[in-house]
Amino acid sequence: MSKIESFRQEMETSYTFTEPSFVLGGAMLGEETLTNTLVRIPLGTLNRHGLIAGATGTGKTKTLQIIAEQLSREGVPSLLMDIKGDLSGIAAAAAPHPKIDERHALIGIPFTASASPVELLSLTGQDGARLRATVVEFGPVLFSKMLDLNDTQGGIVAVAFKYAEDNDLPLLDLKDFRKILQWLTTEGKKEVEAEYGLLSTASTGAIMRKIVELESQGAERFFGEVSFDVEDLTRLDELGRGMVSVIRLTDIQDKPKLFSTFMLQLLAEVYATFPEAGDLDRPKLVIFIDEAHLVFNEATDALLDQLQSIIKLIRSKGVGIFFVTQNPADIPSDVLGQLGLKVQHALRAFTAKDRKAIKLASENYPLTEYYNVDTVLTELGTGEAFVTALDRKGRPTPLVRTMLRAPESRMDILSATEIASLVRNSPLARKYNQDVDRESAYEILEKKLAAAAQLEHREEMEKQKEKARKTTSRAAPREKSIFEQVINNTTTRQIGRTVAREFTRGLLGVLGIKKRR
């Protein structure tokens, strides 16, 4: 048996599945595409996560687009992070092109242009349904990790959440949390310390500064109501196709902390909300994180630990996570080891450091007798990639150089008019784009502070009045009555003595007593 025949037989055996699957492309040996030797990806293992890597311009984003639209066709919803702004075109059918027909003829499958059902979402206020979450949904542990707080500061956050819960103070946005901290260190200090112990003013100030830092990246737009329900990410359209939710994040690259915070909260909410699913024939949801280095480079150690834990556990919920980045080295090794499907586009070797990185990247893939992996990695053309997946028993499939199929949807962005139409007809935009600012901790404590200030003002006024009365009493003697004035008059006293004397004389005469002469 020739090498080509042996290779073809191995690929057909390894990439043919009885379970639901989709065609990613055609197998290549050397520079030759072996027509009708198809590389299929089983849907049932996509909850084991994946990696799409490669240098700029090698086709990573189009690979993401291909997988998302094939998942949609198979009834699997997906969530895409559109940081470069070039994924909205998945909502429109591709235009015909001779090169597309040529590529598909080499692979051995027909090309059908089609659009996918798309929902545009926004984190920072761009066109699309607003993604928001309340502070209380984070919980004290995740909120502390987001701010990278130490144990003492995290304890204060826990007290703040507990105090808010015990006193019916809804923590919805960041101004609610700031007001709680202010209350705990001022008017509510005695009450809190009696119940929970002393709170460090220095630690509280440090937490405040962390919140200000987060707000400087636009976090106040993310925290609040209406809070997004992650179940809305799992919708199907009327034809049974999975909804492709595209989060427009073109203005987020200079706000990495907000991005990593959002990602962690989203994954935590999905994990907490979705029920255990076990092994399904297809995932409930697949999340694609483009420019994944923004998550890992800027995330705190605590956030990374939390993210790694969620990635390990979330697959039992039927959720797959795909990281899209330039180099596998961008992904922590503990996370990289959890990724089942790997699509590796070309890497460029411009420096000695690049060559070492390519050598290291080649070691992440199964051994193969058909390719010199670290050499071929620098020779892959645009739209070509090394692929390895997991079969239904969880075993890695052989590494195969693959000519990827073309996206069936538009390989360009939607126009402003098309985006506006999409948002206007969106049920999620109508649901989440209303601004709700109900009474929460901020307003309740503001009223308490105002009432306390008013009471203090009244007490101060009473003290001032009392002080004034005492001062007046000491400064002006009491005015005498008319009777006292008459009695104390000199003439009155003289007349009184004369009357008394004559009265006594008369009285002695009546008694028969004669006065000696």
275 neighbors 35 (Cβ within 8 angstroms): no
The per-residue pLDDT for 92 is 94
Which has the closest alpha carbon to 386: 396, 420, 395?
396
pTM for the structure as a whole:
0.80
159 neighbors 184 (Cβ within 8 angstroms): yes
pLDDT surpasses 50 at 245: yes
The per-residue pLDDT for 253 is 64
| Among the ranges given (293-302, 318-327, 439-448), the one the predictor scored with the smallest mean pLDDT | 293-302
Tens-digit pLDDT profile for residues 401-432:
999 999 999 988 888 899 999 999 999 988 88
Beta strands in 366-486 (DSSP E): 384-388, 400-404
Tens-digit pLDDT profile for residues 372-412:
998 999 999 999 999 999 988 888 999 999 999 999 999 88
Q: What residue has token string 């990613």?
A: 24
Average pLDDT of the segment spanning 52-63: 91
The per-residue pLDDT for 517 is 43
Would you place residue 494 in the very low, low, confident or very high pLDDT band (cuts 50, 70, 90)?
low
H helices present in 250-376, as ranges: 256-273, 293-298, 301-314, 333-336, 352-362, 373-376
Distance CA 183, CA 204 (A): 11
324 neighbors 60 (Cβ within 8 angstroms): yes
pLDDT surpasses 50 at 126: yes
| Among the ranges given (104-118, 227-241, 286-300, 497-511), the one the predictor scored with the smallest mean pLDDT | 497-511
Tens-digit pLDDT profile for residues 498-511:
655 565 555 555 44
- The DSSP 8-state label assigned to residue 280 in this structure reads -
Q: How many of the other CB atoms lie within 10 Å of CB of 211?
A: 18
- Specify the CATH number for 3-129+243-292+302-432; select among 3.40.50.300, 3.40.50.170, 2.40.160.50, 3.40.190.150: 3.40.50.300
Average pLDDT of the segment spanning 482-505: 58
Average pLDDT of the segment spanning 206-233: 85
pLDDT surpasses 80 at 1: no
The per-residue pLDDT for 417 is 92
Classify burial at 54, counting beta carbons within 10 Å of its beta carbon; exposed 0-12, middle 13-18, buried 19 or more. Answer: buried
Q: Return all residues near 365 (Cβ < 8 A) that are at least 6 apart.
A: 342, 344, 373, 386, 388, 399
The per-residue pLDDT for 279 is 79
